Amino acid sequence: MNHPGSALVATSLRFGYGGRTVLDGLSLRLRAGEVTAIAGPNGAGKSTLVELLAGVLRPHAGTVWRTDRAALVVQRPDAPPALPLTVADAVSMGLWRRGPRVRPYSRDDARRNVAAAIERVGLTGRERSLLSELSGGQRQRALLAQGIVRRPRILLLDEPAAGLDAESRARTRSILTDEAARGAAVACVTHDEEAITAADRVIRLEHGRITTV
């Protein structure tokens, strides 16, 4: 299958829960070097869409074609206190191999990549902090670092600015712009009007269908 300039193409996606249709015949493409904002009201199917695009969920009908494995940044502000996972541990998970096309990292390269990703999200000095010790916004930034640590060709994010202050939201927008500038296809579910305005393209969902591209 050949889609020049596209990093991901979804065709006629259908998905639902318990007999309720969430996405109904949805098609879209994400282009390398662009930031795409996915907007719409609560319940429109935005989070379900990015999970389908990432391969976390399988569509009931339709196809998703990707040039590479996607990195998915989820919205997960809670961390169990008993979970002994540090910021560095969480970010390192983004380097785990999950297929023959994913190149291995040397120990030194992995350390450098993890340190660089943590610095980009403004968490230097908190590498050994447990996720449960961080604020919700800091945990969200750690998950963003996990998503960008291996410089993915496809970066999908579900409300990455949730729980962030104005400075951190601006930092996140800058990171997404930089990721697109190096050639990644970036798609971000967001209610942040500044992020929507700054995006190269906006996809709006309503009742499981695209209303604007």
φ and ψ of 47, to 5 deg = -65, -40
Residue with tokens 């300039």: 5
Whole-prediction pTM: 0.91
Structure-token pair, residue 44: 């429109």
- Angle, nearest 10°, between helix axes 136-148 and 166-181? 10
pLDDT of residue 12: 96
Is 193 within 8 Å of 106 (Cβ atoms)?
A: no
Q: Rounded CA gap, 197 and 45, in Å?
A: 21
Containing 46, the helix (H) or strand (E) segment is helix 46-54
* pLDDT value for 91: 96
**pLDDT value of residue 78:** 65
**Low-confidence residues of the chain: pLDDT under 70:** 1-2, 76-82, 97-104, 213
- pLDDT tens for each residue of 61-96: 999 999 999 999 998 666 666 678 899 999 999 998
Residues in the chain: 213
Q: Determine which helix (DSSP H) or strand (DSSP E) holds 23, and give its type and residue range.
A: strand 20-31
pLDDT value of position 35: 97
Q: Report pLDDT for 100.
A: 47
According to the model, what pLDDT value does residue 79 have?
Answer: 67
For residues 48-85, one letter each, b for 16 or more C-beta atoms within 10 angstroms of the residue's C-beta and e for the rest, the string is bbbbbbbeebebeebebebeebbbbbbbeeebeeeeee
